[in-house]
Chain A
């Protein structure tokens, strides 16, 4: 497989990989590094890539595993403080949404969700994959995906309503 061919395959979903990585790792730089790493891994596997049924789903699963490993090693390496101190500045999205404060609340609320719910919500509501696709990517039962999705949505709603009522939002 040539490089241009590879890029054609990868281009449509590289942003999705990046967004999933960012959702899990929070920091922009780390998400970029993770995405880069995953694309390079894919490139090194380019010979077997044609045999995969769905490269996109495969890459998504890779991203999920990679980021979860990262998070785990980070916890073991006691780097968590650095991580939670991270404050994002100057991201396109952030500046765009600065006026709508309550919208960025949703992002903060999502940060507090358990990893699995985070991923399910990300893949479903932002990337708009079907539940079956998500189940395959995350190696879950389709019913479990639905339950996690419902829970995640309800948690976000609950916290959002709280903020709304306190007038913080």
Chain B
């Protein structure tokens, strides 16, 4: 459990960090909380030649309100800080955050790290998909915004270019007409989701009519988190959670491993979708 040798740099600013990254030889990894990367390095499954530690860059930490009632979450904000932040009122985040990892992981693990690492079983990517988040990436070339739906490209693969650092996550304005929930069944050893469903339902024009806006995203089910668009369509058509659940894995190649084969995983994914929808609907009122 000793990592292979690597060099280490701790830049004092994000500008310095992106410059260092640009100079890297391709074996450079950004490290923040280290909760995913370090275990892989100790098993020598990851062998970066260089680590750039951005963990102490205060400019990337914390939640603030920005234009349009949106929230900007610094990439280095830890799970624990998110839990304690009064701006984070989203019910699905409050469902999910206390169950991520353990106390130590929540104290060290960062939202940006979780997204950039892009473990297909990680909860945070699905939560952000359901929230229609945006990701802000910075490089020596400048800054760009990536829609979350364009961000996840496969297992441990994202839209970030090799010279880019994820610096911020932006959440759209919340609405009282929306309800949300996160339900998951965990792989007991790792605590990652065998199947997790993040759901937001709402009425875009308010009132008490049928829901006309729904976003359903799944974690742990496929080789990348995804929006279950067939399930969303089914829900908009019938407003019945069970109908949506039946389409939770439509068109998806469902993952199979020693803990859950594809058939079981698909079945419990549908259950999570149904339960999360039921909870979200109840919360939306």
Q: Do A and B come from one complex?
A: no
What is B's interface to A at a CB cutoff of 8 Å?
none
What is A's interface to B at a CB cutoff of 8 Å?
none
